Structure 1
Amino acid sequence: MLNYNFHENLEEVHQKHDSGAALHRWGNNTRDIVIKEPKRRVRFATNLPKLNNDAAAMPRTKQQLTDLKIPFHVIKDCTQDFSERNFIRKGGYGKVYIGILTWTSHVNRLVAVKRLDVTGFQGNKEFRTEVTMLSEYQHKNIITLIGFCDDNNEMILVYEYAIHGSLDKYLSDSTMAYTLPWHIILKICVGVASALDYLHNQVAEKHRIIHRDVKSANILLDANWNAKLSDFGLARIGLANQQNTFVITNPAGTYGYIDPQYERTGFLTKESDIYSFGVVLFEVMCGRLACVFNYHDERRFLHHLAQIRYKNGELDKIINHRIKIESNTRSLSKFSAIAYQCLHKTREERPTSAEILIQLKEALKIQINNG
């Protein structure tokens, strides 16, 4: 059965790390972690306030968790025993299936069922985090958790089904490439910014949530093209008045999106989400994914190229052709400016999620009103 006492002492996590990490003490307040693969040394403060990750994220009553538990036999029926015909995709921690759920108040509801790999420690950690986060925090631009199953050591999450899939497929699938109008793209980005503003500033008076894996593959789209931020398995809770919200010695996230300052120092802040979102903004503007691609026979990430082009006043050379044609000049200029600000090297120079939301709403308003 699922254990809801999720707090793990940070030092114990380091000592149990299976990557071969070695601890090196530097006085009373700093410590280096040397990680063999890849080998690097990260120095961080050890006297920062500890976070109560479980208390802040716990649902208000145990009954809420009971109400979310779905029997395994119901999920098997829902997915036709995890049939290949119901298979949608395979992710880093397991497989996702489409299903039709009939259970309690849900009658013939279309759902997405994520069945995590029970053999993976990280999958177990992701499962626990996802249940705590999504059972407590709801927002119109965050994916809804319908229920979960932990029967017989299973780790299954059941979500609302986002019929238009993930944003990345509109950038990577040549048969669907850039079928989205600019005003719809703006609407999607406004939705993600709204979700981040909620997580960073509105979940509670004394704490915030950092997603840690903002990317186009984790932005789902419902029937009305509303953005639904998903995959909270890497998320962390931090104190609202704490500059360095959470300390991680082995940065997590996705290459091409991860904040270089977080990756280099090991210090996680809400501005790390801002950086990742900036990459997404450039993805949708340029019509290509953030992953490594060839440029003049060199392998680069999109954010490197976008920053160079923006600085040199050459951004139009990489903006998607269709967007250049159909977008209002002022709308596109405002959008590209806020995207670039998100990628600033230092956290202090990056805009807040609230500021991004204001600017993107203005870009959408300009586009709709055509100036």
Structure 2
Amino acid sequence: MDYLHKSFLRLHGNLRSATCLVNDSWQVKLAEFGLDNLIEEQTPPKKRLLWVAPEVLRGSLTVSQMEPSADVYSFAIIASEILTKKEAWDFLDRKEDSEEIVYMVKKGGAFPIRPEIVTDCPDVNPALITLVKDCWAESPEDRPTSENICQQLKNMMSKKSKSNLMDHVFNMLEEYTSTLEVEVEERTKELTLEKKKADILL
């Protein structure tokens, strides 16, 4: 996102979780950028608007009329999905549908509606949640720039352990393997016991 904001493209304009692709090296690649004319000719479905910044919804802005701060808002919605491990706006636990959410975001107000960030992961840095909330600020001027976001994320990472994502994945796999070994051992004992019972009966 920061690269796009510093390039001649200026912004993505259609940022949402579906346009964030992860390759086999765990790198995120952004898709569907630079498609101004194609996007502007289409009427997007309401669900696609769940990632769109309020000022864009109110002004019915085209991609060429948007500011990079609109991407920052969209980034925040995506980040909330990652943190909560749920879809945007978590409709399973909401009474509103996508059309109502879009209307309420567009309406704004003193306390604008935003996704709830409730995570069961104890390792989540509270500063990260604060950053996400800053990114979806109602006023575009109050949102951090993509460069500022990158800097804050780097600072958060430097304060944590030096382990990277792959280390985390390997640790999870190792933990899973250990659990699996214990389970196999228990099942083997049960099977041996049942076999002994069967031998006695025979």
TM-score bin, normalised by smaller chain: 0.5 to 0.7
Structure 2: distance between partners of 1:353 and 1:220: 19
Amino acid of the residue matched to residue 289 of structure 1?
A: E
Structure 2 partner of 1:272: 70
Aligned pair 1:341/2:103, yes or no?
no
What CA distance in whole angstroms lies between the structure 1 residues aligned with 2:57 and 2:26?
32
Q: Which structure is larger by alpha-carbon Rg, 1 or 2?
A: 2
What 5-or-longer segments of structure 1 have no aligned partner?
A: 1-195, 237-247, 310-314
Q: Does 1:350 align with 2:143?
A: yes
Task: Using the aligned pairs only, state the percent identity.
Answer: 24
Distance 1:305 1:356, change over 3 A: same
* C-alpha separation in 1, matches of 2:43 and 2:152: 29
Report the alpha carbon displacement of residue 364 of structure 1 after superposing the two structures with TM.
2.3
Residue 91 of structure 1: aligned partner = none
User: How many angstroms apart in 1 are the aligned matches of 2:68 and 2:43?
Assistant: 14
Q: Do the aligned partners of 2:9 and 2:34 also contact (CA within 8 Å) in 1? A: no
Answering whether residue 24 of structure 2 is matched by residue 223 of structure 1, we say yes
**Displacement of 1:219:** 1.2
Matches within 5 A, 1:192-207: 196-201=1-6, 203=7, 207=8
Shift of the 296–218 alpha-carbon distance from structure 1 to 2, 3 Å rule, reads closer
Aligned to 1:255, the other structure's residue is in SS state: helix
- Structural RMSD (CA): 3.1
When you count strand as a share of all residues, which structure comes out higher? Answer: 1
Equivalent pair of 1:251/1:262 in contact (CA under 8 Å):
no
Alignment of 1:159-170 (within 5 A): none
Which of structures 1 and 2 has the larger relative contact order (alpha carbons within 8 angstroms, sep 6+)?
2
In structure 2, which of residues 41, 46, 54 is the aligned counterpart of residue 260 of structure 1? Answer: 54
Cα distance in 2 for residues equivalent to 1:355 and 1:284: 20
Q: How many residues align?
A: 144
Deviation at 1:211, TM superposition (A): 0.9
Q: CA deviation at 1:263?
A: 1.2
Q: What 5-or-longer segments of structure 2 have no aligned partner? A: 106-112, 164-202
TM-score (norm 1): 0.35
Query: 1:271·1:350 contact (CA, 8 Å) conserved in 2?
Result: yes
C-alpha deviation, 1:272, in angstroms? 0.8
**2:53–2:70 contact (8 Å) kept in structure 1:** yes
Structure (1 or 2) with the greater helix fraction = 2
Instruction: Go from structure 1 to structure 2 and tell me whether the alpha carbon gap of 1:346 and 1:199 turns closer, same or farther (over 3 Å shift).
Output: same
